[in-house]
Chains A and B, each alone.
Chain A
């Protein structure tokens, strides 16, 4: 028995080494005083200095963040409203159709989304650039928001809504005072997912970005095609720390929220 567990641990350690080795490799070489990822010549922070002096790259980072925040915000609003629609539809056929349509963009390969959006924008003669990238990011984030909010909305007890209506709340009040506060955790995780999808996207953006506008992923792609530049390593070091912070933050926020919910439930039981 102990032997089996021993082997399983060894296997997991191997898997985790493989999962993290490339990332650690990248970050370690960001401190390399040489210019390649082959030999570690000595410790330096100069690549980080280069990174912060590179105003073009910083502008691209800011553009990427702006796109991510705007698209996450807008898609969260539209997605949440869509979730209300899906949930309140009474005919099962219509509901399933809505859900299937919702999930099309989630299962579609990125190239299909990118190519079809490119045709779409050219047909409507929407200029390729900030607008087209923003619209695309909003479009592919909406279904994720819906999938995050829907389970939460399903948990909402309809007697709460009846109670609110009996107490004289009108539709807008019910929405604002009962439904929205209840589904807020779902909305937050939807927003968070939309944010990460937008930051992570390469393929769709690559298709609809045109010439003038780039996001970070597209920029990394074009630089990586030119070969090794340790400035990218420095960038990935920064991004890794940022991601780690974001995820830990999200983890603790959701944990403390769960604890609060538990407490509230216990309070009700008393």
Chain B
């Protein structure tokens, strides 16, 4: 059967233009810019600086490490949560309630934690009840990882929930009938079958975690520097676009590697902004 033309070619021009101008051109431009120095001359100096000075490499390793920690904590909290939500009666409603916080602006949630974690904030007041002197919580590595994990949880729960939903009950029943313990059923049946959801979740948490520069500024107190923070710094503060683009290229490469590791299944949870 021949395929039908849905519309004139003219209708496709805007979409084609979008791909050309806003998908291909910007990626090309950021790669091109990474080979330019401050005077717009072609140079490899940016990459040389990146690989020779230990600071940039350390920053990259640190950024990957923070993103890894955030992803692990998010996964540890989200998997049981998704599993238990799936067992509930009104699961659709509860799932909606899980996603609802993602519609509250990210910056407002970060702002809330400025109040919660401050020197005289709620957490320190609570600790004070046990006679613990006020701690510096805000502007520490801990607060950064905590808030980032908090923000990412719904994006992890959603894909895992969907993959649990896809697992047929008959597999679980079969496994039980064949004498598997609950743990065996989980580790040999449920976990492997829900792995695509976990991968999708890891993908949609890890990649944004590399670039959460607003959290490093508001919550991390500039102590945590992620790839995103470095890019923002180079583009908007020091105006060294060449170096910023170089770090951008590194971030793109990191992203491609992560996507290859986690398979090409699309995360339907969306991203964090």
The interface of chain A, by Cβ under 8 A from chain B, is: 5, 8-9, 11-12, 15-16, 18-20, 22-23, 25-26, 29, 36-38, 77-79, 81-82, 84-85, 87-88, 90, 98, 101-120, 123, 135, 139, 142, 144, 147, 158, 161-162, 165, 171-172, 174-175, 179, 193, 196-197, 199-204, 206-207, 216-217, 220-221, 224-225, 227-228, 232, 235-236, 239-240, 243-244, 246-247, 251
* Interface membership of chain B positions 1-20, coded 1 if the CB is closer than 8 angstroms to chain A and 0 otherwise: 10111111001101110110
Output the nearest chain A residue to B218 by Cβ-Cβ distance.
A224
Decide yes or no whether B244 CB sits under 8 A from chain A.
yes
For residue B70, which residues in chain A have a CB less than 8 angstroms away from its CB? none
Assess the A115–B18 pair: CB atoms within 8 A.
Answer: no
Q: Which of B52-60, B168-176, B188-196, B251-259 contacts A (4 or more CB under 8 A)?
A: B251-259
Is there contact, CB below 8 Å, between B118 and A38? yes
Additional A-B contact list (5), CB under 8 Å, known A81-B7, A203-B228: A101-B24, A202-B107, A206-B232, A225-B217, A244-B100
Q: What residues on B are CB-neighbors of A144 within 8 Å?
A: 270
Contact, CB under 8 Å: A20 / B107: no
For residue B4, give the distance in angstroms from its CB to the closest CB of chain A. 6
Given contacts A107-B207, A201-B273, A239-B104, contact A101 B84 (CB under 8 A): no
* Sample (29) of A-B pairs whose CB atoms are under 8 Å apart: A8-B80, A15-B153, A16-B98, A18-B150, A19-B98, A22-B109, A23-B109, A25-B116, A26-B112, A37-B122, A38-B118, A84-B6, A85-B15, A90-B3, A106-B271, A109-B208, A110-B208, A110-B273, A111-B248, A111-B251, A112-B251, A144-B270, A165-B4, A206-B236, A216-B105, A217-B273, A236-B105, A239-B104, A240-B104
Contact A105 B235 (CB under 8 A): no
B5-58 at interface with A (beta carbon < 8 Å): 5-8, 11-12, 14-16, 18-19, 21-27, 29-30, 33
Q: What's the dominant secondary structure at chain B's contact region?
A: helix
When C-beta atoms are compared, the residue in chain A nearest to B106 turns out to be A202
Q: Is the CB of B29 within 8 A of A116?
A: yes
Please give, as numbers and ranges, the residues of chain B lying within 8 Å of A251 by CB-CB distance: 96
A5→B214 CA distance, assembly (Å): 39
CB atoms of B154 and A19 under 8 A apart? yes
Interface size class of B (residues with CB under 8 A): 35 or more
**B72 interfacial contact with A, CB 8 Å:** no
In whole Å, how far is B231's beta carbon from the nearest beta carbon of chain A?
5
Question: In the complex the two chains form, is B125's CB within 8 Å of A38's CB?
Answer: yes
Q: Are A25 and B115 in contact (CB under 8 A)?
A: yes
B101: Cβ under 8 A from any A Cβ: yes
Task: Report Cα–Cα, A26/B121, bound state, in Å.
Answer: 13
A184 to chain B, nearest CB (A): 15
> A115 and B22: CB pair below 8 A?
no
Q: Say whether B255 contacts A107, CB under 8 Å.
A: yes
Contacts of B8 in A (CB 8 A): 171
Which of A22, A87, A144, A220 has the most B CB atoms < 10 Å from its CB? A22
CB <8 Å contact, B245 and A115: yes
CB distance from A260 to the nearest CB of B (A): 18
Chain B residue with Cβ nearest A108: B255
Interface residue B139 (Cβ < 8 Å from any Cβ of A): no
Tell me whether B103 and A243 are in contact (CB under 8 A). Answer: yes
Which residues from A are CB-within-8-Å of B271? 106-107, 110
A178 to B223, CA, bound (A): 57
Q: Which residues of B contact A38 (CB under 8 A)?
A: 115, 118, 120-122, 125
| B103 contact set on A, CB distance < 8 A | 196, 200, 243, 246-247
Which residues of the partner chain A approach B116 to less than 8 Å between Cβ atoms?
22, 25, 37
A84 and B11 form a contact (CB under 8 A): yes
